[in-house]
Structure 1
Amino acid sequence: MERWLRDLLCGVLIGAGAILPGVSGGVLAVVFDIYRPLMETLTHPRAAIPRYWKWFIPLGLGWCLGFLGFAKGIAAAIHVSSTVTTWLFIGLIVGTVPSLFREAGKEGRSAGSWVSMAVCALAVFFSLFYVGKVICVTVEPNFWWYNFCGALWGMSVVIPGMTSSSVMMALGLYQPMLEGLARLDLLVLSACLPGMILTILLLARLVSWFFRRHYAIAFHGILGIVLASTLVIIPTSYSRPAEVLWSVVCCLGGFAMAFFMARLDQKIQKDAG
């Protein structure tokens, strides 16, 4: 039951993280130790499904709750204060960085690993900065653009650190997409879900191959992506002192949640052993 509830909560957070600007659902999947089983299932379903099917039931249910059920709540929270909402997820990600660093070094650390981390961090930071601060392009939402949004979400699942919501915001697609998900609009769902699923299936094998052949380089690259994508979303403007206080509280709350889930993981693994 503890594992089931933990996986349900992880699924909710990953689904919600896919919606929140600047947060990658794939990164959360990595830090919650869900990414590799997910990729195994996508690339070798016959071998992986018998091993993980019970695990993916609460994860899938939680993801649906976080992605669809929480869309309206997250939209309302962002409307009240996007700054405070973002700090909650920053605390969550920062709380999982130590375990992610240990995971990255599980097969050793070479010079190439550190280079990979630095290159990925710089590339992601400046790319997101350019999209968020320099480009000012907006498009008219329609079926094909919603399909494009689904493809971006699929990439954020398979490629940790890919912050799809930030790209959508730069194009002016984020708000109409979020509102469509909140009211379960058929046009939005029929466009974005197929695009997301198709993208995940097409990219899964390529990403999995790279992890098998170059584990340390790939994982340190992800670590660099996590650090850069977290750094670039740090809010820099606050409307009032109370917002600063609530930001601190939510950041600490997110950190505490990540710490609790890490301790729960250790307990589950100890009991299993």
Structure 2
Amino acid sequence: MEATKNNNSLKHDLILAVQGAIVGVGAILPGVSGGVMLVAFGIYDPLMELLSHPKEAIRKHGRMFVPFVIGWVLGFVLLANAVELLFETSSAVALMLFAGLICGTVPALLKKSELADKTQGRTVGWTPLVLTLAGAYLFFSVLSNSTGGSIQPNTWWYLFCGLVWGLSMVVPGLSSSSILIFMGLYEPMTAGIARLDFGVILPLVIGLVITVAATARYVNGLLQSNYALASRIVLGFMLASTLLIFPTSFPDALTLVISLACFAGGFVVAYRMDQAEERDGIA
């Protein structure tokens, strides 16, 4: 019995590490929201608790954060170059893979939201999801069609980058990388991080902390008081941003086939992860 429990615990840690690696890679990719993947892998709620009530969250979820953070660092440091190479080789294949990973978690998210309806004794309905999906899709579409201005990066603009990046952590579906690319800030920001330029890193971190500190408690409060409503709003953002990263064209038939295979593979991996956690009784 004890051995089974230890095996399940180890399996859970490995799953969390893999999920952390995926989030770490996705956080720096244009068009992919790190917040969406946090939601998709069930890390969003505990993270909001950590940001709004650190002591309580560490006592409650500390066991979860350790393997996830280790995976995130490994993914960010070791896999980022490989994923960037994949994007350079075929952005269509890379985006279909990440879209599959996100879509594979939707069944579990819908099930959890429906369960919240029953346990909280209220019927929210699916109107919030539909309205959020439509509104977010329109907003992101307008944003993606806009053109970036001729902004000269400086300390204040890097502070702005941190504010936007922090917002994308709190609001799943908001891709900070996409916004910063449109404004011409993404490349100088990432170049500064790569060369460990603290003139870039410090204002970036300060901006991120300001946004998270100012908004995380309110977002977490909404999740605690009315999870069904909050989860459907978040899911609307998630679906809208995911729809927008689907490639609209493919250079040839082979790329299309490979892209579809990657989407299917990503979907199955994410779906099986959710099934494994549910089967092992892991919250």
Normalization by structure 1: what TM-score? 0.89
Change (3 A) 1:241 1:135: same
Distance 2:213 2:78 in 1: 24
Aligned: 1:119 with 2:128: no
| Equivalent residue for 2:270, pick from 254, 258, 273 | 258
Gaps of 5+ in 2: 1-9
Match status 1:244 vs 2:256? yes
Q: Which whole-Å CA distance do the structure 1 matches of 2:156 and 2:81 have between them? A: 23
**Pairwise CA RMSD:** 2.2
User: Matched residues in 1 for 2:190 and 2:262: separation?
Assistant: 22
Corresponding residue of 1:202: 214
Residues 144 and 240 of structure 1: CA distance in aligned 2, closer, same or farther (over 3 Å): farther
Q: 1:58 aligns with which of 59, 62, 67?
A: 67
Residue pair 2:104, 2:266 contacting (<8 A) in 1 also: yes
Deviations 1:116-162 (A, max 9, x none): 11221111111111111134434223333222222222111111111
Q: In the aligned structure 1, how far is the partner of 2:200 from the partner of 2:79?
A: 16
Whichever residue aligns with residue 105 of structure 1, its letter is: E
Matching of residues 127-142 of structure 1 within 5 Å: 127-142=139-154
Q: Which digits, 9 at most, give the CA deviation of each residue in 1:47-83, with x for residues without a partner? A: 2212222221111122223334443333322222222
In structure 2, C-alpha distance between the alignment counterparts of 1:55 and 1:118, rounded to whole Å: 32
1:101 matched to 2:110: yes
Q: Secondary structure at the match of 1:141?
A: coil
Secondary structure class of the residue paired with 2:23: helix
Tell me the amino acid that sits aligned with residue 47 of structure 1: E
Q: Which residue of the partner structure matches residue 144 of structure 1?
A: 156
Aligned AA (1:102): K
Q: C-alpha distance in 2, partners of 1:132/1:246?
A: 26
Match of 2:13 among 1, 4, 22: 4
Identity of aligned residues (%): 38
What code does the residue aligned with 2:172 have?
A: P
- Give 1:183 shift: 4.4
How far 1:232 moved relative to its partner? 1.4
The answer for the alignment partner of 1:47 in structure 2 is 56
Cα distance 1:108–1:51, how it changes in 2: closer, same or farther (>3 A)? closer
- Matched to 2:103, the amino acid is V
> Is the Cα–Cα contact under 8 Å of residues 8 and 59 in structure 1 kept in the other structure?
yes
Which deviates the most, 196-205 or 87-96? 196-205
Show structure 1 runs of 5+ residues with no match.
Answer: none
- Which region of structure 1 is more displaced relative to structure 2, 32-41 or 240-249? 240-249
- Normalised to the residue count of structure 2, the TM-score between the two structures is 0.87
Give the conservation status (yes or no) of the 8 Å contact 2:21–2:75: yes
Aligned residue in 2 for 1:167: 179
Q: How many residues align?
A: 271
CA contact (8 A) 2:151 2:184 kept: yes
**8 Å CA contact retained: 1:68, 1:181:** no
The correspondence for 2:43, drawn from 34, 37, 46, is 34
- Tell me which moved more, 98-107 or 146-155: 146-155
**Distance change >3 Å, CA 190–CA 155, structure 1 → 2:** same
Q: Please give the secondary structure, in 2, of the residue aligned with 1:251.
A: helix
Q: Is the Cα–Cα contact under 8 Å of residues 150 and 184 in structure 2 kept in the other structure?
A: yes
> Can you list the C-alpha shifts for 1:185-236, whole angstroms capped at 9, x where unaligned?
4443333233223322221101011222332211111121111111111111
